[in-house]
Structure 1
Amino acid sequence: MFKRKALYWASSFNTACVFDSNGFADAYSKFDLMIAACAEDELEANIGTSFIDLKSFKKKHPKKWLPGFLSYDLNNEIEYLSSKNPDQLQFPDLYFFLPKHVLLLKENQLKIFSDQAEDVYNQIDQTTIPSSKQKPKVQIQARISKESYLQKAERIRRHIIRGDIYVTNFCQEFYAENAQIDPAFVFDQLNTVSPTPFACYFKAGNKYILSASPERFLAKRESKLISQPIKGTAPRSAFAAEDEHRKNILKNSIKEKSENVMIVDLVRNDLTKSAIAGTVKAEELFGIYSFTQVHQMISTITAALNQDVDVVDAIKNTFPAGSMTGAPKIKAMQLMEEFEGSKRSIYAGSAGYFSPDGDFDFNVVIRSILYNAANKYLSFQVGSAITFLADLEAEYEECLLKASAIIKVLGG
């Protein structure tokens, strides 16, 4: 009850975020719930000098909580890439803020970092949770048809046969124009229907991220870097025996393992740019984890951070998440820009925080609704891996499976 009240309290501010682990076991988590609200200072940057600006912002506010997000399209700043696809969402490419109020909840112990801690607690306690509302009536449209998806996926596979790439994440956009939603209520419903360990509500003025992300992009704990890419998906079943069967199929699938290990290798390579030589390792390969709608194959790669590498550079060296690009990374990103037809914006980017002790933790923005309340444009994207062995019809159905929780809360 407190968690939900705190969400609606935070949503009353012009800037706020909620990071919720939803009770999932996570050896690297600092908290079960973090809420930050009311910007005392903020950084909004677009492609050009975003990471330099972020370093300056961190130096300006040392040993502070700094939540924020990074758009996938920062790849155009990191690499020699460009994007001409339309962007209806109009989010900044990078945004961070210094919050006036920070709340941390872990194992039923609440800490409030604020000059008005008692007032904050009382305000949350007095916050009313909205009574059950009807689902919003959002007219969802597909940016590309199923036929077009299959044709494009086949063309992508020809690039794989030619040796241009060997795996990629091909994404498609679903969108709604003139959409009117209550973002906090929609996130509340999404977090109920699809609880995940890296769920995120982020409000930056009239821009909203409503995320049910199951994936960690990159975290730092003391001198250790941790990345946990997801590659490999199987649908859940309501019947225990069938559900276990599907999990075992995923666990033993040569195709899903090949996808996963290719991305593990990519992430290992990215981490070497920031790591002490010889410390990059896979702590877990092909772990199977279950969520409400899907089973996922997740691997954990770690490294010891080279102390000569700035933490912002450690993020930049690995960004964007390899699970959302493909490999080789640059060529895969070039091809997806050509085939997808929509700018990814915050989708496939990352949201998270820097903490006062020098650590950080960022998710991958997937299974997420992006909403611009000013122009009433709503968007969510889903993707799946295309490899030589991919069944393209099955990959399309996997996209719909990943979108199912979002479609449900939007009344589709």
Structure 2
Amino acid sequence: MDRKTYLSKVNELREHIARGDIYEVNFCQEFFAENAAINPYEVYLNLNKLSPTPFSGFFKLHGKYILSASPERFLCKRGEQLISQPIKGTAKRSHNQIEDELIKTALKNNLKEQAENVMIVDLVRNDLTKSAIRGTVKVNELFGIYSFPQVHQMISTVSCRMNPELHPVEAIANTFPMGSMTGAPKVRAMELIEETECSRRGIYSGAFGYFDPEGDFDFNVVIRSILYNEEKKYLSFQVGGAITFASSAEAEYEECMLKASAMIKTLKGPH
């Protein structure tokens, strides 16, 4: 998708918001290469070195790979607690420490980013009620600012006590796909994503993680991730952002490029 197409599609989505079809939608674009030959594990290590994140992971299934530098937790279960930590709100880092702190403060106080974040927090609260003991859903942290090598992120934490009659897999089914990668209301946002995006997402904006023997689990959101099909020699990654009525198409495009920067640097390799 070239820049002009991207800007036009974002403005088309803003028209849907103006009409009241949705409040917010996560719109993504794909970067890809055909006939690509890489050493997946080496690329993963380089990506992880350039962009270390708490939910990174290397996943291989036959000849298909996910090389993930994800900063986002989709859902985890710890005992009777379910915890989700949606990310909405991004700002670039600065090498100048004083400027970097100012950027961080500006992100924390940015009303547009807060509006994006709180819409998804409400959606996650709603999703968790399907798995929760009544009255236990709560927001543990709203608009927390966390810093990663390339970006500052606004992350909120929502939790509940899980209904003991539910199987852990049902808790995942009740919240999937995650609100931070779809929008609000979720189903209408997904329909518009299907109509507007130029590529199918595949595993991108899905999740991978683990279950332990006690039934606890932890799953990430597959973002900031390189996907590689060894047999077809097809390499791709996608980036996106939340579109609200207050969004500027140009600013959203720049945010996409910022999110793509670590993956592009990793694939280009040292010069």
The gaps in structure 1 that reach 5 residues or longer are 1-143
Task: Verify: 1:161 aligned to 2:5, yes or no.
Answer: no
For residues 46-65 of structure 1, the aligned pairs below 5 Å read none
Q: Distance in 2 between matches of 1:383 and 1:400?
A: 9
Other-structure match for 1:278? 135
The match for 2:167 among 310, 325, 332 is 310
Q: Distance in 1 between matches of 2:221 and 2:233?
A: 24
* Equivalent residue letter for 1:319: F
For residues 60-79 of structure 1, the aligned pairs below 5 Å read none
Structure-1-length-normalised TM-score = 0.65
How far did residue 309 of structure 1 move?
A: 1.3
Task: Verify: 1:360 aligned to 2:214, yes or no.
Answer: no
Q: Distance in 2 between matches of 1:241 and 1:307?
A: 48
Other-structure match for 1:258? 115
Q: Distance in 1 between matches of 2:238 and 2:191?
A: 18
Q: What does the per-residue CA deviation read over 1:380-400, in whole Å, with 9 as the maximum and x for residues that have no partner?
A: 000011001111101000001
* Equivalent residue letter for 2:20: G
Other-structure match for 1:134? none
Task: Verify: 1:323 aligned to 2:177, yes or no.
Answer: no
Q: Distance in 2 between matches of 1:313 and 1:378?
A: 32
SS of corresponding position for 2:208: strand
How far did residue 308 of structure 1 move?
A: 1.3
* Equivalent residue letter for 1:403: A
Other-structure match for 1:400? 257
How far did residue 358 of structure 1 move?
A: 1.1
* Equivalent residue letter for 2:127: D
Q: Distance in 1 between matches of 2:246 and 2:266?
A: 33
Q: What does the per-residue CA deviation read over 1:96-134, in whole Å, with 9 as the maximum and x for residues that have no partner?
A: xxxxxxxxxxxxxxxxxxxxxxxxxxxxxxxxxxxxxxx
For residues 13-412 of structure 1, the aligned pairs below 5 Å read 144-411=1-268
Q: Distance in 1 between matches of 2:105 and 2:116?
A: 17
SS of corresponding position for 1:350: coil
SS of corresponding position for 2:190: helix
* Equivalent residue letter for 2:257: L
Q: Distance in 1 between matches of 2:140 and 2:266?
A: 36
Q: Distance in 2 between matches of 1:229 and 1:351?
A: 15
Other-structure match for 1:27? none
Other-structure match for 1:20? none
* Equivalent residue letter for 2:62: G
Give the count of matched residue pairs. 269
Larger relative CO (CA 8 A, sep 6+): 1 or 2?
2
| Percent of paired sites with the same residue | 67
Q: Distance in 2 between matches of 1:205 and 1:172?
A: 26
Q: What does the per-residue CA deviation read over 1:270-328, in whole Å, with 9 as the maximum and x for residues that have no partner?
A: 00000000000000000000000000000000000001111111000000111000000
Q: Distance in 1 between matches of 2:50 and 2:205?
A: 21
* Equivalent residue letter for 1:252: N
Other-structure match for 1:26? none
SS of corresponding position for 1:198: coil
How far did residue 407 of structure 1 move?
A: 0.1
Q: Which has the higher helix share?
A: 2
The gaps in structure 2 that reach 5 residues or longer are none
SS of corresponding position for 1:277: coil
Q: Distance in 2 between matches of 1:321 and 1:365?
A: 10
